[in-house]
Chains A and B, each alone.
Chain A
Amino acid sequence: MPSISWVDQCRAEAPVVQLDHRWVVTDDQEQRYEYAELVGPVQGHRLVFSRLVEQQHELGVFVGTGFFACALASPEVSLEHRGGDEFVFSRLVAEWRKERGATSSTSDIVLCYAYQAIIGMGQKAVPIILAQLESEGDNPDQWFWALQALTRANPVVEEDEGNYRKMARAWLNWAARNGYAW
């Protein structure tokens, strides 16, 4: 990514909206921030924008708290922006874990709206799920239904069914053998 030349930091509960080819957010102190182009969300509570300074685009970071749910709901902050798929996925994971609560029912767990939305992301979700699965190490979560639905594969041998640590290893090995990169 090109160099970052400015940082705006504030508390903003309001959505980031696109108005007349400008990106606008108003913070909790009524301070208004305006940007030229949304480059993409990055990890944490940050959005990368460009700002026009003497006809030149300068990249910077808007650091806020609380605006992410609004930003996600805003169609202008769309998935095609760089980093968008990982951003949306991480939001959906958080929603899914909240939505499923303390149920033990796999049927209920995979029928959560957010989990279905992850499957709905299609093939581009596969490497993101694999990266998530790998990052969870010895305590992997229930990504196997989504992986089966998306790839139509089942690399888990019968004796390992239900053992998520072994199942995660089987999926990561299968994915590597089948040309997935994550």
Chain B
Amino acid sequence: MPGSWPPHELPNLTENNCVETSPQHFGYNCIAWAAGDNTRWWWPIPVRGINYWPKGVPRQETLDAFALAFATRGFAECADGSLEAGIEKIAIFAKRIGISLIPTHAAFQLESGQWSSKLGTFEDISHVTLDAVNGPLYGEAVRFMSRPRPAVR
């Protein structure tokens, strides 16, 4: 296994389908990383003074709130994660708990068509397919968003 994350949480990641792209860091998470921010931890908890969450977006762990958070960075909902020239896509992952889908993770698509994820407090990786990070921790990709690919992230 290429990184230091617990393998049982991400059982589909192997040396053959992912590459570590930056070392472990506590200071940002997957949501920030997908939004293009590697300086802050994004998460919508109601207590102030803990995390970043875009102003005006409900501090709720719902897919709609996460989509609104990404919308503040220019993303709009799209159909799927297929590669399109000049378009940057993100995938929002969720896990079913009872009747709710709870957001757990986000990844963004590289120009190559592969995906990039920050794994909690662990490393950033690039992974060949989205389902490489499917599993008991993140569930699966349930919503896609896109924006014009920026010259610099």
Q: Which residues of A are at the interface with B, using a C-beta cutoff of 8 A?
A: 97-98, 100-107, 136, 139-142, 144-145, 148, 154-156, 158, 161-165, 167
Could you jot down 6 A-B contacts, CB within 8 Å? A101-B120, A139-B25, A141-B121, A156-B49, A161-B40, A161-B49
Q: In the complex, what residue of chain A is closest to B40 when comparing beta carbons?
A: A162
Rounded to whole Å, the gap between the CB of A182 and the closest CB of chain B is: 20
User: How many residues on B have C-beta within 8 angstroms of the other chain's C-beta atoms?
Assistant: 33
Contacts A139-B27, A165-B27; A101 near B47 (Cβ below 8 A): no
14 further interface pairs, Cβ-Cβ under 8 Å (given A162-B42, A163-B27): A100-B121, A102-B137, A104-B29, A104-B31, A104-B104, A104-B120, A105-B104, A107-B61, A145-B50, A148-B50, A154-B49, A161-B40, A161-B48, A162-B41
Do residues A101 and B50 form an inter-chain contact, with CB atoms below 8 A?
Answer: no
Majority DSSP secondary structure for residues of B touching A: loop
Taking the complex as formed, is B127 at the interface, i.e. its CB lies under 8 A from any CB of chain A? no
What per-residue 1/0 map shows which CB atoms of B92-105 lie under 8 Å from chain A?
00000000000011
| Distance in angstroms between the alpha carbons of A144 and B47 in the assembled complex | 11
8 Å CB contact of B61 from A105, A144, A145: A105
Which chain B residues lie closer than 8 Å to A100 at the CB level? 120-121
Instruction: Give bound CA distance, A161 to B122, whole Å.
Output: 21
> B27 contacts which chain A residues (CB < 8 A)?
139-140, 163-165
| B39 CB–A CB distance under 8 Å | yes
With both chains docked as a complex, state the minimum distance between the C-beta of A119 and any C-beta of chain B, in angstroms.
Answer: 13
CA distance A165 to B41 in the complex (A): 11
Chain A positions within 8 Å of B84 at CB level = none
Of B25, B27, B39, B47, most A-chain CB atoms within 10 Å: B27
Which residues of the partner chain A approach B61 to less than 8 Å between Cβ atoms?
105, 107
Chain A residue numbers with a CB within 8 Å of B120 are 100-104
The verdict on B15 contacting chain A, using a C-beta distance below 8 Å, is: no
Q: How many Å lie between the Cα of A156 and that of B52 in the bound state?
A: 11
Task: Answer yes or no: B56 CB below 8 A from chain A CBs.
Answer: no
> Of all chain A residues, which has the CB nearest B133?
A102
Instruction: Pick from B10, B40, B45: contact of A163, CB below 8 A.
Output: B40
A141–B6 CB distance below 8 A: no
In the assembled complex, the Cα of A155 lies from the Cα of B31 at a distance in Å of 25
B39 closest partner in A (C-beta): A163
**Residues of chain A lying within 8 A (CB to CB) of residue B104:** 103-105
In the assembled complex, B130 has its CB within 8 A of some CB on chain A: no
